[in-house]
């Protein structure tokens, strides 16, 4: 049966609204965390690393991991079968890396610990992020998936804005504070059933999810 314009423009159901909020919290947390790292970690590093090139290379770890780790994690999440689905285990697994990496950044005072903390953080970030993004087309019907996905921009903007506005103030008080604040934000939509994907015919693969996200 052809989908009518009324079906395509239907309102979000109550459980869908709840899912939008629950999935928005990790978007906020991830945006806040990555903004704190990319904005304020170079400031911290200048205190004990004299070379801007070296600092740039360290922050460049993000780009090196972004080339391949999201592809591996996203594709693996397509095939993984667990009681909580294939996506959520990656979000859960990545969260400790993110928290440990952020916490360590608050205490680093030399090059090697800084490199290790940065590597740990971005491994966790990219391990979690693409499977997390794929939760949107997994959990929402096609006619509302675009709207649900679009709310990410609001949450991401809020996380980025708060990091930029508050991070500098916290850093002026203590090196530990901005990274500790980012580490305390929850990144896992820990609600029963939130990580379960819809039936395969509806949810599709991670690559299909990426195409839906790109269209949203």
DSSP per-residue codes, 127-152: HHHHHHHHHHHHHS-HHHHHHHHHHH
Is 1 among the domain residues? no
Is 6 among the domain residues? no
CB–CB of 167/178 below 8 Å? yes
CATH number of the domain at 81, please.
1.20.1250.20
CB–CB of 40/46 below 8 Å? no
Is 2 among the domain residues? no
Range of the domain at 143: 14-215
**Per residue in 124-160, pLDDT tens?**
999 999 899 888 877 887 777 777 778 888 999 999 9
Domain count, the chain: 1
The list of the chain residues with pLDDT below 50 reads 1-7, 190-195, 199-207, 209-216
pTM of the entire predicted model: 0.80
């Amino acid at each position: 049966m052809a989908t009518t314009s009324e079906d395509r423009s239907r309102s979000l159901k109550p459980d869908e609204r709840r899912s939008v909020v629950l999935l928005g919290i990790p978007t906020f947390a991830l945006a806040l965390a990555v903004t704190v790292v990319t904005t304020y970690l170079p400031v911290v590093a200048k205190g004990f690393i004299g070379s801007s090139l070296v600092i740039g290379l360290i922050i460049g770890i993000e780009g090196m991991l972004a080339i391949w780790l999201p592809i591996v994690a996203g594709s693996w999440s397509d095939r993984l079968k667990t009681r909580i689905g294939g996506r959520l285990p990656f979000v859960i697994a990545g969260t400790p890396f993110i928290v440990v990496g952020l916490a360590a950044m608050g205490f680093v005072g030399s090059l090697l610990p800084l490199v290790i903390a940065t590597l740990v953080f971005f491994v966790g970030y990219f391990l979690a992020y693409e499977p997390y993004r794929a939760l949107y087309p997994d959990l929402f019907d096609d006619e509302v998936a675009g709207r649900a996905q679009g709310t990410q921009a609001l949450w991401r903007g809020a996380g980025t804005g708060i990091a930029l506005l508050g991070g500098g103030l916290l850093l002026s008080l203590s090196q530990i504070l901005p990274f500790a604040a980012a580490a305390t934000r929850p990144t896992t939509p820990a609600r029963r059933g939130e990580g379960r994907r819809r039936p395969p015919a509806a949810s599709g693969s991670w690559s299909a999810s990426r195409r839906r996200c790109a269209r949203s």
